[in-house]
Amino acid sequence: MIRGSMAMALTPTLRSRLQGCLVGAVSGDCLGAPYEICGVPPKDTFGSLTTFFEQIGTEIKEKDYFRYTDDTAMCRCIAESLIENKGNLNSEDLAKKFGIEYTHAPNRGYGANVISVLKAFNKDLDDVFEPARMQFKGSGSYGNGGAMRVAPVALCPEADFDKMIEAARQSALLTHSNFNGYCGTILQCCAVHLALHSDPATFDTDAFIDRLLEVMEKEEAPGSPAAKVSRPNNDSTAGGTQSGEYCRRLRLFKPLLEEDADIKKVAAELGNEISAHKSVPAAIYSFLRCRTPVEGISSSNALERTILYAISLDGDTDTIASMAGAIAGAFYGVEPISADWRTMCEGTDVAIRQADAIYDIHFL
Ligand code: F2R
Ligand code: MG
Ligand code: MG
């Protein structure tokens, strides 16, 4: 009996994991957002969610909750579009939703350059991918905007893996035509998907890293589908083309975990910036590192710990915490996220509704 109930606690239901993924993503965004611009306080980590709320409490008093940013606004568009299109990615519909969402709420802290693409989606376009191709003199954006919103695409059966990779690529290409922009989206999508389908009781960190490396070695290889999409003027000096940025960082995971590297070293080696290649690896690493206790973070809740760790990395805090939260939520389920926490973060109710609708499409 006791063993059975312990196993239930260890292995959340698939529905709970879909909910955890989208609620984890919005929570990471909401909790990380106050520090995205001003930087985290000069200390190593946040001790616990309670101390985090205490420290930041005065800043949010007026609103009584943490607002979500562009990360969640765009993630919700993807989820809604997938739901309306029965689990399939419809680029034209998604572009339209991005355009409407931006017009409706432009002050969610969007990336400086993606705004012109979002505005173009409100016009009649023959090719919805064209505005993104024109970005940065044709080299396309390598911002993390594709990766920060991709979680709903990952919430599909294991048998749909190849279809999922293509959907992730297409969802990114609407705004991010740079090789590193859409490869980061694919990596984040795979990390969420693998976490969703991993058994917490038998989880193998090395196997998880090796599987992601296997996918990215294929994506970053010359002649890969990703390489074929790349523009001829996709300049590698700007962090652009087949530079192996993802495989290089994934190969650092095992040594960093082995030596239990200091958080500042992790940020320096993996990145904590607005570019996809300098933020997606940090989010995945946050999930892996926080499966076990971290010195300086007293929280015994691994999902909470993951989000606090990701914010403590500093830099692009909302986005790294949102991506880490999506992976951790897909792994641990929604239960570790307390009712208080859910009320504190704007939009967790919509995340639950969308997760349920996606569950019904793919798994009912
Ligand atoms: N934008 C922010 N935060 C800063 C400003 C917040 C707000 N405006 C305020 O002032 O309070 N956060 C959000 O942006 C990131 C996602 O950005 P996305 O969607 O990728 O946008 P974009 O514009 O495509 O790229 C972002 C920047 O990356 C640099 N960049 C990208 N590609 C480049 C290239 N090929 N060459 C040179 N630079 C490139 C540019 O600086 C872009 O502006 C998330 O953090 C989200 O939370
Ligand atoms: Mg944001
Ligand atoms: Mg951000």
**pLDDT tens digits, one per residue of 239-280:** 445 679 999 999 999 999 999 999 999 999 999 999 999 999
Chain centroid offset of residue 96 CA: 22
Q: Is 64 helix (H, G, I), strand (E, B) or coil?
A: coil
| Residue 235 confidence (pLDDT) above 60 | no
- Residue 275: beta bridge partners? 143
Residue 182 lies in a domain: yes
Show Cβ contacts of residue 100 under 8 Å, excluding neighbours closer than 6 positions.
122
pTM of the entire predicted model = 0.93
Do 338 and 300 form a contact (C-beta atoms < 8 A)?
no
Q: What is the CA radius of gyration of the chain?
A: 19
Q: How far apart are the CA of 268 and the centre of ligand 3, in A?
A: 17
178-196 residue pLDDT tens: 999 999 999 999 999 999 9
Residue 155 lies in a domain: yes
Which is it for the CA torsion 184, 186, 192, 194, positive or negative?
negative
In angstroms, rounded to a whole number, what is the distance separating the alpha carbons of residues 22 and 147? 14
CA–CA distance from 358 to each of 278, 341, 352 (Å)? 30, 23, 10
Q: Whose CA is nearest to atom 18 of ligand 1?
A: 145
In angstroms, rounded to a whole number, what is the distance separating the alpha carbons of residues 326 and 196? 10
Residue 4 lies in a domain: no
Chain centroid offset of residue 169 CA: 14
Residue 316 lies in a domain: yes
Task: For ligand 1, pick from 66, 74, 75, 113 the residue to mutate: most ligand atoms within 8 Å of CB.
Answer: 113
At 47, the pLDDT band (50, 70, 90 cuts) reads confident
CA–CA distance from 332 to each of 1, 9, 72, 315, 336 (Å)? 22, 9, 20, 26, 7
pLDDT of residue 140: 96
Do 225 and 169 form a contact (C-beta atoms < 8 A)?
yes
In angstroms, rounded to a whole number, what is the distance separating the alpha carbons of residues 251 and 239? 18
Q: Pick the atom of ligand 1 nearest to 240's CA.
A: 35
Q: Which two tokens stand for residue 196?
A: 């969703």
In angstroms, rounded to a whole number, what is the distance separating the alpha carbons of residues 243 and 235? 10
In angstroms, rounded to a whole number, what is the distance separating the alpha carbons of residues 281 and 80? 27
Residue 3 lies in a domain: no
pLDDT of residue 164: 98
CATH number for the domain including 85?
1.10.4080.10
Residue 280: give the domain boundaries. Answer: 14-363
Tell me how many domains the chain contains.
1
Chain centroid offset of residue 212 CA: 15
Cα angle for residues 350, 332, 21 (degrees, 5° grid) = 30
Residue 23 lies in a domain: yes
What's the average model confidence in pLDDT over 79-103?
98
Q: Whose CA is nearest to atom 43 of ligand 1?
A: 112
Residue 7 lies in a domain: no
Residue 109 lies in a domain: yes
Phi first, then psi, for residue 208 (nearest 5°) are: -65, -50
Pocket lined around ligand 1, Cβ cut-off 6 Å: 36-37, 69-71, 109-114, 136, 139, 141-145, 148, 178, 238, 274-275, 316, 318-319
